[in-house]
Structure 1
Amino acid sequence: MSVSSAHDELLAPRVAVTVFLVFAGTYFLSALVRAITATLSPTLSAELSLTPGHLGLLAGGYFFGFALTQLPMGRWLDHHGPKRVVLAFLAMAVAGSVAFALADSFYSLLAARVLTGMGLSACLMAPLTGFRRWFSPAVQLRTNSWMLMTGSMGMVASTLPVQWLLPVIGWRGLFWALALLFVLSMAALAWSVPAWTRHANAPAPAAGSPDGGYGLIWRDHYFRTMVPVGFMNYGGMVAVQALWAGPWMVKVAGYTPDEAAMGLFAINLSMLASFWTWGVVNPHLARRGIRPESLIGWGLPISLVVIVAIAWLGPRAGWLLWALFCVSSTFVALSQPAVALALPPQAAGRALSAYNLVIFAGVFVLQWGIGLAIDALDVFGWSEPDRYRGAVALFALCCVTAYGLFWRGWRRIERDRAATLRA
């Protein structure tokens, strides 16, 4: 795409704000649905006789459905644009919400959960693909952070607010309401989001061309540099926020369930504030020439120190240290828009979807893997708190290793950039 044509695609400020708010509202709902099973688990267990294994699989069903769509969705986003893709996917989310409201067994709940995960899998990738064309690079960094902030708001809303609504409308009524909200979101998106004009893209590659698929993405050195921290550090941050911080507070730090719920509420609020702050400062950092990979390189080690401290302190590590770990891990969230900016605009959908698949694969592996490690360490006869500490120590070692791999790729990027400037 030429510079002039790229400039012509930028949205007017008023339109840009409207588009962002509509997409942000939809992503808020998707994050709420993603995290809602933790709040509903006691009710669903009592009503449908679900075991802990059922609940774990039910929570994972969302991520399974999410992962199923990522690679084909990236190509559809590049070809058809965010508007058409997100509307088609949200129709599946409506169907999944209705199916969940009508479910009367574990397997019908699971099928509905998978369908809902598929339907909501475009709620972040679609706007980020559009922002790659419609917003300037500095604004993209801001809007990416603020989209993640709305996701944190959705996770906050999935805790105490949902708990307050349950006695009023019940969990089935809640999902009927969510289905209606998704329909309203579709109407708002159809009204406000610009169409995807093909002339603004580079010529479409031939069907059999590697660059028409994901070869261009996987071969890119910048993308490969971000993969280790995306999988381990970013995926680990989400795994902790969505699952493991809660059991640690109860099993290791000695919190009551109510105290742990308040701790999770505080962690999610901290994440919300962190992403809001990134949205404010990112344009200023971009204007000063401070690049995302440099911020990750110098900032992410803070999270490594904190996770090692958590494993070391054990019962003395409460919600505050977990909040500090999650907040200091948000440096790695800058990798998502950076990957899109590093690749051609016509490949933005594929780049973002491929990287999102990396992140959510990390979430799934770490949510499961930390639990397996806790169980496996029982062979040493350790107490439950010590097994949690051992599993977190192994996770910390993996995070340090992933950062080391990133550091090696980052230094190469810096050397190549310096050589280009000298030339």
Structure 2
Amino acid sequence: MSLLAGRQVVAVFLAFAFTYFFSALLRAVTATLSPTLTQEFQLHARDLGLLAGGYFLGFSALQLPLGSWLDRHGPKKVLLGFMVLAVLGCVAFALATSFQALLAARVLCGAGLGACLMAPLTGYRHWFTPPTQLRANSWMLMTGSLGMLASTLPVQWLLPVAGWRPLFWWLAVLLGVSMLVIALVVPGWQAATPTGAPRPSYREVWRHPYFRQMAPIGFFVYGGLIAVQTLWAGPWMVRVAGYDPVASAGGLFTINLAMLATFWAWGWFTPWLQRRGLHADRLIAWGVPWHFLATAALIGAGPAAGAGMLAVYCVTATFVSLAQPAVGMAFPAALAGRALSAFNLVIFLGVFVLQWGIGLLVDLFAALGAGEVSAFRFAFSIFLACCMLSYAWFLWSKSHNRPQSP
């Protein structure tokens, strides 16, 4: 499959980025809506964690078949098919009258939007040069941060005017517009594996030493970043730091603005770093310990840890985002969709487990007599311990495997 020319590269990137913007907005909007939904549906912390994690449960459920379909049918057809489910999920969420209905709609949204990053990354693996792939990956994540930014103060400002239900009707319409853009701009597909030839399988992905090296930090560190950014940053600011809902939305805006700037910078500098021999493994090994220090500082500060410290927590975690394109480029093109979807499955299973798990731990420690601030601190301490163990595995695997990364 041939590389795309300059203008077509830009057009394809913008088409995919337009779609991913709404995917990220829908992923993160529960953090802003959490006070409203908690009051309207009388939700506990575990319910809120399950509701936010439901998106990632639906997202994860289709990742393995998604990878095979992407390798076989290409990003355009697969993404358009998936987004029909996302539109239906938005409509169902707007109509929901119970927690169970909200959860089912959230799962449907997650399933439908599960291809919004994997489809572009699979296409980039075939259509873009390696340096352009690294830049496009970071700038897709930047676009995601822009969507998360839109899910904060803009959504908070709209709530008193329109309410949360019309928001989801509008999102359904805008997702339909993005489908039209994808249909018009994204090129067709020629499978990398010739017809009649044996098709690659996920077994080759699961057994790959580089995939196994990256999987635990993908689950805990990357998954934890998304779990906090898209849910627990909001409750932390309200229930630990004492913010009101409007101030919490402003804090989320600050966090996502910092993430947008960070991914913009990664997009500019990763090709330059790669040319100088600073590949994903080395940057992750150097950068993740700073993230652990930021997490420990967050826990230690407790009520004094507001939006600024949460922003530092999220920004320092972005080193591990380099693992995603590195995994894709560690495999041949015929396996790109499977490799990327398998790693994405690991990440978003982590998001689901950590979003729900942190909520369960907060409720558990509260039931054991801990105050609300202490319950959050204990829950985040257990989470930090799991992240540190995953980093230890990364270092051990790196030293025991022949280097596989690009």
TM-score range, shorter chain: over 0.9
**What per-residue deviation string (whole Å, max 9, x for no partner) do you get for residues 224-247 of structure 1?**
000011001101111111222222
Residue 399 of structure 1 is matched in structure 2 by 387
In 1, the alpha carbon distance for the partners of 2:33 and 2:326 equals 36
In 1, the alpha carbon distance for the partners of 2:154 and 2:248 equals 16
1:127 and 2:115 correspond: no
Residue 335 of structure 1 is matched in structure 2 by 323
1:299 and 2:292 correspond: no
Tell me if structure 2 keeps the 8 A contact 1:204–1:212.
Answer: no
Unaligned runs of at least 5 residues, structure 1: 1-5, 419-423
Question: In terms of Rg, which structure is larger?
Answer: 1
Tell me if structure 1 keeps the 8 A contact 2:93–2:105.
Answer: yes
In 2, the alpha carbon distance for the partners of 1:375 and 1:179 equals 34
TM-fit CA distance, 1:373: 2.4
**What per-residue deviation string (whole Å, max 9, x for no partner) do you get for residues 80-116 of structure 1?**
0101100111112122222333344444333322222
TM normalised by structure 1 equals 0.89
Residue 3 of structure 1 is matched in structure 2 by none
TM-fit CA distance, 1:28: 0.3
**What per-residue deviation string (whole Å, max 9, x for no partner) do you get for residues 188-246 of structure 1?**
11111111113x4466654xxxx633101000000000001100110111111122222
In 2, the alpha carbon distance for the partners of 1:54 and 1:308 equals 26
Residue pairs, 1:24-423, within 5 angstroms:
24-44=17-37, 49-52=41-44, 55-198=48-191, 200-201=192-193, 205-206=197-198, 212-378=200-366, 381-413=369-401, 416=403
Tell me if structure 1 keeps the 8 A contact 2:327–2:340.
Answer: yes
Q: Structure 1 pair 381/115, CA: closer, same or farther in 2 (3 Å)? A: closer
**SS of equivalent residue, structure 1 residue 343:** coil
**What per-residue deviation string (whole Å, max 9, x for no partner) do you get for residues 54-76 of structure 1?**
54443232222111111111100
In 2, the alpha carbon distance for the partners of 1:378 and 1:87 equals 44
Which range moved further: 266-275 or 105-114?
Answer: 105-114
Q: Tell me which amino acid in the other structure corresponds to 2:201.
A: G
In 2, the alpha carbon distance for the partners of 1:41 and 1:384 equals 17
In 2, the alpha carbon distance for the partners of 1:172 and 1:250 equals 23
TM-fit CA distance, 1:285: 1.1
Percent sequence identity over aligned pairs: 58
In 1, the alpha carbon distance for the partners of 2:380 and 2:48 equals 22
Q: Structure 1 pair 417/135, CA: closer, same or farther in 2 (3 Å)? A: closer
**What per-residue deviation string (whole Å, max 9, x for no partner) do you get for residues 339-394 of structure 1?**
00001111111111111110011111111222222333347643322222222222
In 2, the alpha carbon distance for the partners of 1:264 and 1:366 equals 19
Unaligned runs of at least 5 residues, structure 2: none
Q: Structure 1 pair 330/25, CA: closer, same or farther in 2 (3 Å)? A: same
**SS of equivalent residue, structure 1 residue 300:** helix
In 2, the alpha carbon distance for the partners of 1:61 and 1:356 equals 16
TM-fit CA distance, 1:327: 0.4
In 1, the alpha carbon distance for the partners of 2:404 and 2:107 equals 43
**What per-residue deviation string (whole Å, max 9, x for no partner) do you get for residues 2-33 of structure 1?**
xxxx6xx1110100000000100100001111
Which range moved further: 85-94 or 335-344?
Answer: 85-94
Aligned length: 404
Q: 1:14 aligns with which of 1, 4, 7?
A: 7
TM-fit CA distance, 1:166: 3.3
